[in-house]
Structure 1
Amino acid sequence: MACSSDNKGSAKSKKKQTYTCSMHPQIVQEAPGTCPICGMDLVPFDKNNAVSFLTLNESQVALANISTVLVGSGDFAASKSLNGRLVVDPEQTTVISSRMQGRIENLYIKELGRKVERGQPLYRIYSEQLAVLQQEFLLAVAQAKQFPEDERFRQIEKAARQKLLLYSRTPAQLDQLISAQKTDPFVIYPAPSGGVVSELMVTEGQYVAEGGGIMRLEGYDKLWVEADAYPADLASITIGQPVTVIIPGWEEQPQNMTIQFINPSYQAGSQLTQVRGSISNPGNHWQPGLQARISIPHRQPGKSLILPVNAVIREGKGLHVWLETAKGRFEPRMIQAGAETEAMIEVLGGLETGDRVVVTGAYLLNSEFILKKGADPMTGHHHQ
């Protein structure tokens, strides 16, 4: 009986062999088999190995393409980037509408995208209403001339003249009308401002009502930059704040801009709102619709302990890096991070100047540790 008890104790103390997948180290079992994810054969590992570091020889380091960098301090200016787009400035938009009802006899601009100069003829309209007003004006002029002492006829002439002036007739044209004594029902309307034709609302031969739309002109000398922002972004954005605008394809030409407007409401069904500013666009270099990035600084430049972003491994327990503490010896270290850019991250705790941190190959070391030890490198670790 005593012998049987000793055998049981011996069996309990005997270590059990465990197995894992080299591609998916989260798969752990106590018998050989295949990975349920990728189907590869499981390999044995010693989960009782308590050593918290890895040792690699020179050939293994070269094969894993492991490179390191010394931690140091430097100038660090963090910023966040908002996705945006170039938009037409409404103040640069002119809607051309008909001053009178009539038929579009000639449409001189028939294509979208055509550039128009101020004063350039846009369309010629035939208006019976204009002919009637001209005839009334000629009659009023004749009556006022025939009865120069009658104040009533002078008022009628003045009112008829004013109506024609409201229809874009000039005093010189009215004098010519009096001289010719012949009505002209055609009017050519010039562009009140320059711009690019973005919309045509009529075709040649079409009848339009008074006030009916003819075309839309857009000026691109100045463009709005609108960007989407989440509630968390708004904490570092204020009206009047200077930012930088980068347009993909023109990264070498960053534009300075000031935040001019923050939309107080959110888009329906989303957590997005818009922030806006404007940039100059000499020579119509950019067009509305192009993508843009707004870079918003939210920390003043200063000396900080910094690392390449690629050196940091992000997991549910926090952030950690791998240190080379001796030649070929690598240990994990939990860190506390601050602000970051696309390339660099600020380290607030866990590292000191002069520590040698793995930059390339950090994720491979992480996987190797899990494969060999059967545990997360950061189990039991805390921020220093």
Structure 2
Amino acid sequence: MERKEFIKSLTIALLTPTLFLAACSDDKKKGDQNSNVNSQTFTCPMHPQVVQDKMGTCPVCGMDLVPFEKNSADAALHLDESQRALANVTTMAVGLNGFNTYKQLNGRLVVNPDKTEYISSRVAGRLDRLYVRQTGEKISKGQPLYQIYSEQLASLQQEYLLALTQAAQFPGDKTFSQILKSSRQKLSLYGQSEGQIKALQNSKKTNPNITYMAPQNGTVAELSVTEGQYVAEGSPIMRLEGYQSLWVEADIYPSELGSIKEGQQVKVVIPGWEDQPQLVTIKFMNPALQADGQLIQLRGAMPNPNNQWQPGLQANVFVPTQSKGDVLNLPVDAVIRSGKGAHVWIEKEQGKFEPQIVKTGMESFDTVEIKEGLKAGDQVVVTGAYLLYSEYILKKGKDPMASSKKCKTTIK
């Protein structure tokens, strides 16, 4: 019995130090963990990769290290009055307002087909002379274009001279008068001008070499023949384009058709002539989608005084759009955008700023619509938002989008 009591006492005596040391070790580990959680880290403002657990200088550039709150669970930034003034941070209470803006479309200037004239041969024959030999040449109405040798036209001239003689011999005969009128009309239909018919009447001599004149002013855009070539009746000779009026074309997506309609006025600005905006009325909207781009084309005519613009120039087309009702809107600089979305900074309390994810809508040059994420009365940072964004990343080492609240409030 005494032997058993002795062994029991000895065992307790041997195990007691071991248990005490294990307990001390656990307490030390817990203390070390708490110390790591609450320890302050420091980093270099110019070299964020430098992180230390004590104050000092950057080994790269020698700058003083600043506190680094990477382990902080607080999602807000705190600024005192001096820091706020130095960063030029100002806020405004967001509210509901009407929103008018322009939707910008990429457009282009093209030739107006209404001002295009296709010149074709009125008779079969040989082109003895071309008075126009190159494209891009400007043509005036009545200017000679080409001279053609045509036996067919010479026969019509002889027929007219014969009818003219018969009508002169029998002035009261209606039949000869009708024949004269018919032969004169044939010459006119084959492209002979009143002056050329009158010259034929005075000279009483046929001339198979006939010169054709330009029917309008324009620029030679295409030349389809060469000098000495034989052409058939109706063969294309050249194409004249008038640039005193141009078409403005732009492409829109089918989903945008609700905001644009025929008869609506749009503003057209040509790069380089921003001081001369033009108001253009939409005259046509293609009812079919373009097969290559799934886009719908709209078109309007624009005057081109003194031909100062050329077809092929790019144009910015601004279509006025208006919100259906009052919406929340902010200055464009208040919204920070990144590949992950957009967010703003809200002042929750005096000097306490938190990031808030938002969803944007319509946008103009200086204002953006906020569709989700805010409510009327929120104090939103409108200047200094980018500085807050940089300060947050520098101090906390993470993206504000990761800790900000997702959009839950929908603005109607």
Residue of structure 1 in register with 2:292 after alignment: 269
Residue of structure 1 in register with 2:405 after alignment: 381
Matches within 5 A, 1:1-384: 3=23, 15=36, 46-55=69-78, 68=90, 70=92, 76-138=99-161, 160-170=183-193, 173-174=196-197, 177=200, 180-299=203-322, 306-315=329-338, 319-323=342-346, 330-335=353-358, 337-347=360-370, 350=374, 355=379, 357-360=381-384, 362-378=385-401, 379=403, 381-383=405-407
Compare relative contact order (CA 8 Å, sep 6+) and give the higher one, 1 or 2.
1
Shift of 1:208: 1.8
Distance 1:283-1:153 versus aligned 2 partners, 3 A rule: closer
Code of the residue aligned with 1:227 in structure 2: it is A
Shift of 1:323: 4.8
Aligned residue pairs, count: 369
Shift of 1:103: 1.9
Superimposed CA distance per residue, residues 198-230 of structure 1 (whole angstroms, 9 cap, x where no aligned partner): 112222222222111111111112111000111
Shift of 1:276: 1.0
CA contact 1:71–1:357 (8 Å) conserved in 2 = no
Distance 1:112-1:163 versus aligned 2 partners, 3 A rule: same
Shift of 1:312: 0.6
Shift of 1:161: 4.4
Shift of 1:111: 2.9
Distance 1:373-1:106 versus aligned 2 partners, 3 A rule: same
The whole-number CA distance in structure 2 between the counterparts of 1:342 and 1:250 is 19
CA contact 1:262–1:276 (8 Å) conserved in 2 = yes
Query: Which of the pair has more CA radius of gyration?
Result: 2
Shift of 1:133: 3.1
CA contact 1:245–1:256 (8 Å) conserved in 2 = yes
Residue of structure 1 in register with 2:11 after alignment: none
Distance 1:276-1:148 versus aligned 2 partners, 3 A rule: closer
Shift of 1:299: 0.5
* Structure with the larger helix share: 2
The whole-number CA distance in structure 1 between the counterparts of 2:200 and 2:281 is 53
Deviates more, 1:332-341 or 1:142-151: 142-151
CA contact 1:336–1:350 (8 Å) conserved in 2 = no
The whole-number CA distance in structure 2 between the counterparts of 1:200 and 1:24 is 67
Residue of structure 1 in register with 2:6 after alignment: none
Structure 1 alignment gaps of length 5 or more: 28-42
Distance 1:23-1:81 versus aligned 2 partners, 3 A rule: farther
Code of the residue aligned with 2:244 in structure 1: it is D
Superimposed CA distance per residue, residues 132-162 of structure 1 (whole angstroms, 9 cap, x where no aligned partner): 3334545566678889999988876665544
Shift of 1:84: 0.4
CA contact 2:288–2:296 (8 Å) conserved in 1 = yes
Code of the residue aligned with 1:111 in structure 2: it is Q
Distance 1:172-1:241 versus aligned 2 partners, 3 A rule: closer
Deviates more, 1:341-350 or 1:142-151: 142-151
Shift of 1:320: 1.9
Shift of 1:319: 3.1
CA contact 2:94–2:329 (8 Å) conserved in 1 = yes
> Aligned-pair RMSD on alpha carbons?
4.2
The whole-number CA distance in structure 2 between the counterparts of 1:147 and 1:371 is 110
Distance 1:253-1:103 versus aligned 2 partners, 3 A rule: same
The whole-number CA distance in structure 1 between the counterparts of 2:194 and 2:141 is 21
Three-state SS of the structure 2 residue aligned to 1:332 is strand
CA contact 1:50–1:373 (8 Å) conserved in 2 = no
TM normalised by structure 2 equals 0.72
Code of the residue aligned with 1:100 in structure 2: it is V
Superimposed CA distance per residue, residues 309-345 of structure 1 (whole angstroms, 9 cap, x where no aligned partner): 2321135775322356789764324445442113321
Structure 2 alignment gaps of length 5 or more: 1-18, 50-65
The whole-number CA distance in structure 1 between the counterparts of 2:26 and 2:77 is 39
Code of the residue aligned with 1:254 in structure 2: it is P
The whole-number CA distance in structure 1 between the counterparts of 2:124 and 2:43 is 84
Distance 1:203-1:48 versus aligned 2 partners, 3 A rule: same
CA contact 1:77–1:301 (8 Å) conserved in 2 = no
Code of the residue aligned with 2:289 in structure 1: it is Y
Residue of structure 2 in register with 1:35 after alignment: none
Shift of 1:188: 1.2
